[in-house]
Structure 1
């Protein structure tokens, strides 16, 4: 479809035609306009000309066998009395919707867990000294996590004294134990015991502790085959096992091992948006989700020989930028600026400045290869799981044993492409400062320093009311909504009402572009209580915690808040809520479900494919709270979305007895002496 046909389709549907109506980001709007001028089709055009399937949106289309697809639309006016809708095999709407939901959990958990498996394999290769490109950098974190994997960090000496074990031996045993979590068939995924004790005991009672990461994903696929599991509650039970195996298993292990290999993130300054690109530099955009190769690309781009080659080709230097979660990974460890989020990947190429876009896995649009053909940009795939058939792509396969050589080849390819720029370079001016890299360890340090590191100051300020509660706002972009509008409306509304926000993924990038990841933003956007805390501690009101696999950091932060005391005994007691305002990927469903079964009220925007099965929908939106203490919700309007989160936080504050404002009391010396005497 040509751009003119798209515009006609848009006009016919009475949909917006101005770029400003498709995104709240001025840089993106400018590049959409340029794409229109050059008659280059992007996802924004396709979203206007292609409407979603009504039955698919309801979650009641089944194509799990060749007798279908069986389509069970919800009757106008809803179901009155007994629901007689059935597929050819007799599957009800509830069974079909539950199976579809479960398969999304399985795919999302598989994506994150396969990411973790790759990290574990590289970690083990580094520990065994089978690769010279990767090394154990954060030995402190290695020693912290080793006991969780059943690995001793000390040994008894000949005279009964306690001796430190060799760090390389510990690393090998941790790597072997970590990799074993994927394939084990019995027992428990060991890292689930990091959850608060009441939560872990609840999971055991319900029988949803995952036995092995891969096993639970495979079992979902078996159960949702035709003629197997036909009870939506039983299907969701298996979803819970697989989702816990993702959040408290594969994703958490990936985060741990990445921190040990590359260093645990601590706050770092950088910038975000398409304006980080430089017309007089070789621009390399790294896109995807796995940091294994991108870490090597960062090192390769800094080599004097590469900088010299770039100058020989007419450039002033090399500029790296990131898109999606690989962006978040290299940002929080190296300060590499964020080029953009999921919906900006085509638009980055439209600037004409990108000499190479290097991709690994997940959230990579096939159409980037088509857009790249309109420019000089080289699209370089690097993972055997993710090749692109469209366009003229280059495949340089990542191997942990030759990673640095692979990275140098990629950087050299980009440099040599610099003189081939075929269209004028137009880079938007927009870029914003940011502070990122708030791992749960960094938050712990930031609140108390080296000697008094603790979550207690956070808990104290929640109890005294300066901070109303905690919002975890995460997730993708979705072209069915106005780009970044949902993200920013929800986050701004939360911090305006004194809710501190923890963010990952493309929500983090949206917040970065809007200037919300700086301490200075607290005075502009926050309520008085949160603003005071941010100013005192020196943190932004929105804490960047990493990539989407790093949602496990939010789980650990929640567990640390519980451990610090004063806010209940389990995650479900906390004045906290989760949100994915613009979700689009199956990973988001797995993430959402592991937050729900961890006890978190979790609100999604856009849509949730369960509306065609009202009994199943009610089970997710209401009944799960009685089982897990957390539940799903869907609120498309971002303002209402934020206020449902705030209402839930207030409900939890009331249950804890901290819903009343507390007066500040200035203690004189007599009062202090009375306290000490008591």
Structure 2
């Protein structure tokens, strides 16, 4: 193409299924501002790197193998395509696991400081969950005050990160048959820091060069994420900030208000968001905003910390990962406040173009071109008050036109494991048995977790939406987290009124219970709620003895991050068939690809799958669910039977 030729871009509605984002993309183009959605169209992935046929682990190379003929040659050191792919896959899992464990360790440190009285702005809101978590780890709770019990719990959970031998504490919550599979293959995680360190060491030039052995350590490192740092982050966040219960919240850019000071919080750390919530409700700042001509302060979430706050407090949510740049094109965002993970560097240029304050708050994530106001848990208002001062000041001097899309959708969010158990079983007899019974009798075909990011390689949100519609139509109950949850909320599927879109069996259950066919569980770190729910299903009985027996499957339709690979692999290792959309960073028709996509299941784990079309993904997941139903002997739905008096006597005998 000649330099003088103008590139013809795809229409905005071809790039995103979100009407609000499409409207802002068109505006950005007219304003001469390039967003990530267009950068994604301009960037063409290297086909060798995309399929992990490139090794950059030493400087003899980089060595590039041909994905179309992967066994034709080897790397300079002699590494085969299988070794190269396993090393690359392992390093991505290590980074993803490290990211989640870093987050979990930070939450654990905050918990300790709260218990020790060093942090006074946060406390223990869910004492019952504190006790339940302690009991699950074998800690006696009888007669102990919160502070004493909290200290014992901290000491036990700290082993998650520091252990050099033994088994990670939270593996005690794993179904026994699943845990025995891990023990048999030597993959029970010890300590998160050890697992990440050992995996990085073993992928170094000249170290581990056998893909099955490498995968053992990859598996152990991924499990250290799901049953370690991520689970700690979710459980302790619930204990400190409150366990979510279903709340109604609005989603999409229409939640912004032209006559209010708009503050968006985007990231993954709940403490900062909780602190700024206190600030926006402070009468002093409300009065300050009104003095500058605003009607008030409008606090809005984005991405994963937004999903957490939506679940705990009903805070409105402006959009998922694919919309974080587009939302600033509205001109209505007075401050975009970020912390860690999924924060695009491109935010800085867009913020500058629309005169928005982009403020980083975490020492682990600075951005060139953004201002930084450090958040410290011991004095949180020092940071959040400064943010509000800047946001209010910007409102009074807005220098760009404000154009806010009208789209909003209400949804029900906040289905924690504990609430699902209560919803199904009742106040005094919480249980997953009603769910299992309806799977056994065939009204519900199975359960699917649909989670993860958005990716500009495909039309934003579209694969999530079409996949979930196909699953619920086939009587599959869907659990969601992260950006996927926001995509479906924008589509209107997270309300009980969406039940008619489901198949007749699932619709009947949803209408009886009064729940949506799609349950939103929170942020991407809250995928551990799905692990706990799966373990509870096994415990409830009737669906096998391990997670691998369940008629269940998982999917990340538009994944993009190393965290997603770590999440996917800890689900596979836990026994779940896990399908990724977009593509997969392993060359097909290699021994290593076959090992991940078939061989791991033969060893008693789950397995990987991949498809790009949402209907093809749905078919893979449904076929797997049907296979598990057949293995359990429940492939034919049972007729509904009435319980007579003799049956009742058996129940109580």
TM value normalised by structure 1? 0.94
Q: Partners of 2:413 and 2:420 in 1: how far apart?
A: 11
Residues 471, 618 of structure 2: 8 Å contact kept: yes
Alignment match of 1:19 (pick from 12, 30, 35): 12
Q: How does 1:430-449 map to 2 (within 5 A)?
A: 430-449=407-426
Structure 1 residues 142 and 121, CA gap change in structure 2 (3 angstroms): same
Superposed, 1:419-498 pairs within 5 Å as 419-498=396-475
In structure 2, C-alpha distance between the alignment counterparts of 1:410 and 1:6, rounded to whole Å? 44
Specify which of 186, 199, 203 is matched with residue 224 of structure 1. 203
Matched, 1:376 2:369: no
1:404 Cα deviation from its structure 2 partner: 2.7
Of 173-182 and 318-327, the range deviating more from structure 2? 173-182
In the TM superposition, what whole-angstrom CA distance separates every residue of 1:493-514 from its partner, at most 9, and x where no partner exists?
A: 0001110000001001101111
Q: Does 1:208 align with 2:208?
A: no
Aligned to 1:589: 565
Deviates more, 1:41-50 or 1:472-481: 41-50
The equivalent position to 1:343 in structure 2, one of 319, 322, 331, is: 322
Kept in 2, the 8 Å contact 1:210–1:216? The answer is yes
Question: Does residue 661 in structure 1 map to residue 637 in structure 2?
Answer: yes
2:522 paired residue number: 546
Distance 1:7 1:465 in 2: 59
CA distance in 2, matches of 1:102, 1:152: 38
Question: Corresponding residue for 1:35?
Answer: 28
- Stretches of structure 1 that go unaligned for 5 or more consecutive residues are 155-163
CA distance in 2, matches of 1:649, 1:96: 33
Distance 1:534 1:650 in 2: 21
RMSD of the alignment, in Å? 1.7
Q: What is the CA-CA distance between 1:665 and the residue it aligns to?
A: 3.6
Mapping 1:147-296, distance limit 5 Å: 147-154=135-142, 164-296=143-275
Per the TM alignment, residue 360 of structure 1 is displaced from its structure 2 partner at its CA by 0.3
CA–CA distance in structure 2, aligned partners of residues 150 and 602 of structure 1: 32
Question: What is the TM-score of this pair, normalised by structure 2?
Answer: 0.97
CA distance in 2, matches of 1:500, 1:208: 30
How far does residue 672 in structure 1 lie from its aligned partner after superposition? 3.7
Query: Shift of the alpha carbon at 1:577?
Result: 0.3
Give yes or no for contact 1:93–1:612 (8 Å, CA) kept in 2: no
Counterparts of 1:322-333 in structure 2, within 5 Å, are 322-333=301-312
Displacement after TM superposition at 1:201 (Å): 1.3
Q: Quick check: 1:148–1:190 contact (8 Å CA) kept in 2?
A: no
1:115–1:254 contact (8 Å) kept in structure 2: yes
Task: State whether residues 376 and 420 of structure 1, in contact with CA within 8 Å, keep that contact through their aligned partners in structure 2.
Answer: no
Secondary structure at the residue paired with 2:318? strand
Deviation at 1:90, TM superposition (A): 1.0
Report Cα offsets for 1:434-461 as digits up to 9, x if no partner: 1000011010011122112111111111
Offset from partner CA, 1:456-485 (integer Å, 9 cap, x none): 111111111111100000000000011001
Please state how far the C-alpha of 1:193 moved relative to its aligned partner.
1.5
2:567 is equivalent to residue 569 of structure 1 = no
Give yes or no for contact 1:503–1:543 (8 Å, CA) kept in 2. Answer: yes
2:121 match:
133
Structure 1 distance, partners of 2:178, 2:502, is 32
Equivalent position of 1:159 in the other structure: none
- Measured after TM superposition, the shift of residue 661 of structure 1 is 2.2
Decide whether the 8 Å contact of 1:121 with 1:179 is kept in 2: no
CA distance in 2: counterparts of 1:618 and 1:245, whole angstroms: 24
Residue 408 of structure 1, aligned match among 382, 385, 407 = 385
